[in-house]
Amino acid sequence: MKKITLLLSLLLPLLTFSQDWKFYEGQIFFKNGEVKEGLVRIPVSAKHLVGYGFNTQFKANEAADKEKFKDEEAIEKIILQHDSIQSVYKFIPIRKNKLKVFRVVNEDIYPALYSRHIIGAPATMGTSGVAPTITMGREAADEYYIYDKSFEKALPLLKFARSFRYFRKRIKKYYSNCQTLVKEMKKQDYDTEDIPELVVRASKCY
């Protein structure tokens, strides 16, 4: 029973994680001017898994062999097509010598706004008497960061498992001239869905 419980506890998070790690129609633009068009799979960010899905992969078609690209600095951007929606992704630093892939939310403002989809805590296994039990983990969520090439690293506005209050404090910290907006966010009922619009407003008093 213990062996079965251990096996299920290892498989459940991988099954959940693999659902987000798919190939989509897309293009990879390299800084040297090269462009690859076909099927693209980008790395997936996860809070509780290590070593799974951390390379950009490319196939010319379904039958073709996979190519892996480990040098993120060589990639200018990635464009993916999913359910008639086109999204642009870029690798930006979250700390020294550590790049992660982010979706471009708004690069027409300063600093630019990016997001990434984080896979949450996996389900965990336990026992109740002789029967195994499953405790479901936290669902996936979006993180938001701001970044400019003049920055040493991207700055978090909202991190996984944090509330809107965390976002408000980051606006107050990074956008020190936006106190009117900060006060408004305290009084009005905003949510994480309003973050892109609020960051646009904050950028005007950066």
Rg for the chain (alpha carbons), in Å? 20
> What's the pLDDT at 5?
43
Instruction: State the Cα–Cα distance between residues 104 and 25, nearest whole angstrom.
Output: 17
The per-residue pLDDT of the chain, averaged, comes to 84
> What's the pLDDT at 36?
97
Nearby residues of 89 by Cβ (< 8 Å), 6 or more positions away = 42, 77, 78, 79, 80, 101, 102, 103, 104
> What's the pLDDT at 96?
86
Q: Which two tokens stand for residue 66?
A: 């996979």
Q: Which of 31, 103, 41, 42 is nearest to 74 (CA)?
A: 31
> What's the pLDDT at 141?
84
User: Which of the four pLDDT bands, split at 50, 70 and 90, describes residue 68?
Assistant: very high
pLDDT at 112 exceeding the cut of 50: yes
User: Which of the four pLDDT bands, split at 50, 70 and 90, describes residue 33?
Assistant: very high
With both helix axes pointing from N to C terminus, report the angle between 164-174 and 179-187 in degrees, rounded to the nearest 10. Answer: 170
Instruction: State the Cα–Cα distance between residues 187 and 54, nearest whole angstrom.
Output: 41
> What's the pLDDT at 25?
96
